[in-house]
Amino acid sequence: MDGGFFKSELKMSTNTGSALIVFYSDELEKTQAKIIVSGGSIVQEIFSFPGGRRFHFADPCGNEFAVWAET
């Protein structure tokens, strides 16, 4: 069988022009804490923007994602 999952040296980051995948959470601070406990790292702390608040994190492989919540 060809294909499947594998670990790559490539990482997705907005600094390199990657699209940002954004997840939604009703409890932003709790979600941030769970990500840290699970081995993720915070790339950008929680900040406000028109329409809500969000933070960016990297998974253990270094891929960047974001989580947002409505205000």
CA dihedral over 39, 44, 21, 30, signed as positive or negative: positive
* Element of type H or E holding 4: none
Q: Where are the domains of the chain?
A: 19-69
pTM of the model: 0.84
Q: What is the pLDDT of residues 46-71, one digit of tens each?
A: 999 999 999 999 998 899 999 999 98
Q: What is the pLDDT of residues 18-52, one digit of tens each?
A: 999 999 999 999 999 999 999 999 999 999 999 99
Residue in this structure with the two tokens 């406000």, named with its chain if needed: 48
CATH superfamily of the 19-69 domain: 2,3-Dihydroxybiphenyl 1,2-Dioxygenase, domain 1 (3.10.180.10)
Which residues lie across from 68 on neighbouring strands?
A: 24, 54
